[in-house]
Structure 1
Amino acid sequence: MRLRVIALLAGCVMLAACGKVNQENYAKLYSGMNKAEVENLLGKPTECSGALGMSSCTWGDQVSFISVQYAGDKVIMFSSKGLK
């Protein structure tokens, strides 16, 4: 029973994050934004990785996503796929 509740909550969190992965929010991204501004717009990322002051975070899934690359705390590039 407890495992079901945890799985349900995790599913709700993922759906809420996906709701912000859309063309309207993608259009609000710009080079120079800081991580806090991006997370305020898109929510917590689905996945992040990085090294040596560079990082990349992704919101969404394999079908529909927004990917943001950072140098330090600032956006340097961003891309998307399958947004509506």
Structure 2
Amino acid sequence: MKKVLTIAAITLLLAACSKVDLEHYEKITVGMDKTEIETLLGSADKCEEKTLHTNCIWGNDSKNIAVTLVSNKVTLYSKKGF
């Protein structure tokens, strides 16, 4: 029982530390550098480089912030799940 409670507490702490929320999303602006986004949100969970742009996602399939970068500058961004 103690082990289950410990695991539950750790899970809640990790979820509470997530920067994938409306407060952080509202701080994103078009033109921000990739380093500014990483300072705000931390390292992306997934980035996919295309020919002319890079798509990065912070979070998971159900709750995330997606950012499109061109020349390491934010050009588009969206949120899902909040």
TM-score range, shorter chain: 0.7 to 0.9
RMSD, matched Cα: 1.7
Q: Please give the TM-score of this superposition, normalised by the length of structure 1.
A: 0.76
Deviations 1:31-56 (A, max 9, x none): 00000000000000000001223100
Where 2:40 maps in the other structure, the secondary structure is helix
State which structure, 1 or 2, has the greater radius of gyration over its C-alpha atoms: 2
Number of equivalenced pairs = 69
**Could you say which residue in structure 1 is the equivalent of 2:49?**
50
Q: Please give the TM-score of this superposition, normalised by the length of structure 2.
A: 0.77
Q: Which amino acid aligns with 1:74?
A: K
List structure 1 segments (4+ residues) > 4 angstroms apart after TM superposition.
none
Alpha-carbon distance in 1 for matches of 2:51, 2:34:
16
Q: Which amino acid aligns with 2:28?
A: L
Q: Say whether residues 1:20 and 2:40 are aligned partners.
A: no
Percent of counterpart pairs with the same letter? 39
**Could you say which residue in structure 2 is the equivalent of 1:39?**
38
Q: Say whether residues 1:76 and 2:63 are aligned partners.
A: no
Structure 1's unaligned 5+ residue stretches are 1-11
Alpha-carbon distance in 2 for matches of 1:24, 1:64:
14
Structure 2's unaligned 5+ residue stretches are 1-10
